[in-house]
Amino acid sequence: MDKRPLGKTGFSIAPLVLGGNVFGWTADEHTSFAILGRFLDAGLNAIDTADSYSQWVPGHRGGESETIIGKWLKQSPRRREQAVIITKVGMELGPDKKGLSAKRIAQAADDSLRRLQTDHIDLYLSHYPDAATPVEETLLAYEHLMQQGKVKAIGCSNFDAAQLREALDVAAAKGLPRYEVLEPEYNLYARGKYEGALRDLCIAEGLGVIPYFGLASGFLTGKYRSKADLGKSVRGQRIEKYLDARGMRILGALDAVAIAHDAQPAEVALAWLIAREGVTAPIASATTLEQLESLIRATQLALTEADIGLLDAVGA
């Protein structure tokens, strides 16, 4: 499968990133191992997780996803060589475990490395901006990790254009490592946070972009078309906001394009993202092998200009 350069990280990734948020939550260890193995066997290679996944589950503390990925990687050193491992720091895991201070980053990186059972993180992301910590302190902490060989490249998630611009400027002025990758929320429905100044900045600076919620928490699969459908998933509360007139127009367009290509709506939604200028590869998760096969098909689906024009128009 063709690989795309991930900004200036030195890594190339296939046009889809596997979301690890479900591992240890809606996908148990056995299923997670099967999904991870099939994902790499299909020629895909980038796996996204975070130290906070899945702390929202009762009884969880965060790190469950990294732990499962680590156990899987340990089974075969070859897998570690194939995979680009992406994880994040910054979400609150406890009173003294939050933000992007130097102390927090150093400890969080060691914790993630232990759970992942590896000696380095390929791409380490600031999960959210931290207004309480100077940007220079954060970048210096990353520089130390990179000098130690614990981290190969850095990026950020959930930054707006002004926050990203500041971070890039500080890196340039101080001679520090810069964020080479952005992970924004972006999909056919949620376009406002990324399109515009933020996308323009990423393109101008040559950043890699790996959007999360590529399927809008599952809404763009077409599985949820009324409030009565929300009970089909533990994500129901996240999906309700999409059940408006615009959401229905988007589903209608996805249905039409899917029928024309003998595909599923989710495959069309991801193919639209894959084809977007300013997107390296969207992130999507799977809780079954059947779902994963659909994600793989999305990377092989070539939309026509007419298809893209229709989807652009309904989702604008």
Buried b (16+ CB within 10 A) or exposed e, 85-99: bbbbbbbebeeebbb
> Nearest to residue 160, comparing CAs of 123, 197, 125, 186?
197
pLDDT at 32: 98
User: Tokens at residue 80, please?
Assistant: 């570690």
Return the CATH number of the domain spanning residue range 4-183. 3.20.20.100
Asked if 157 contacts 209 with a C-beta cutoff of 8 angstroms, the reply is no
Among the listed ranges 80-89, 93-102, 123-132, 230-239, which one has the minimum average pLDDT value? 230-239
Residues 5-25: pLDDT tens digits?
999 999 999 999 999 999 999
Give 160's DSSP letter: -
Overall average pLDDT of the 104-109 stretch: 98
Overall average pLDDT of the 146-172 stretch: 98
The strand pair at 12-13 and 4-5 is best described as antiparallel
Distance in angstroms (rounded) separating the CA atoms of residues 271 and 266: 8
Mean residue pLDDT across the chain: 95
Among the listed ranges 33-42, 54-63, 159-168, which one has the minimum average pLDDT value? 54-63
pLDDT at 198: 98
List residues bridging with 181 in a β-sheet.
Answer: 155, 208
pLDDT at 227: 82
C-alpha angle 11-15-17 in degrees, rounded to nearest 5: 75
Q: How far is CA 270 from CA 22, 107, 211, 259, 275, in A?
A: 18, 35, 11, 15, 9
Burial class of 244 by CB neighbour count within 10 A (0 to 12, 13 to 18, 19+): exposed
53 is catalytic: yes
The strand pair at 181-183 and 208-209 is best described as parallel
Distance in angstroms (rounded) separating the CA atoms of residues 301 and 281: 14
Q: What is the dihedral of CA 252, 294, 215, 198, to 10 degrees?
A: -110
Residues 276-293: pLDDT tens digits?
999 999 999 999 999 999
Work out the pLDDT band at 77, boundaries 50, 70, 90: confident
pLDDT at 234: 64
Give 183's DSSP letter: E
Work out the pLDDT band at 112, boundaries 50, 70, 90: very high
Amino acid identity, position 249:
R
pLDDT at 225: 87
Overall average pLDDT of the 116-144 stretch: 98
Which of 53, 124, 186, 189 is the catalytic position? Answer: 53
CA atoms within 13 A on the CB side of 258: 20
pLDDT at 60: 92
> Nearest to residue 155, comparing CAs of 315, 283, 21?
283
Residues 226-283: pLDDT tens digits?
887 777 666 667 788 999 999 999 999 999 999 999 999 999 999 999 999 999 999 9
Asked if 40 contacts 18 with a C-beta cutoff of 8 angstroms, the reply is no
Residues 176-229: pLDDT tens digits?
999 999 999 999 999 999 999 999 999 999 999 999 999 999 999 999 888 877
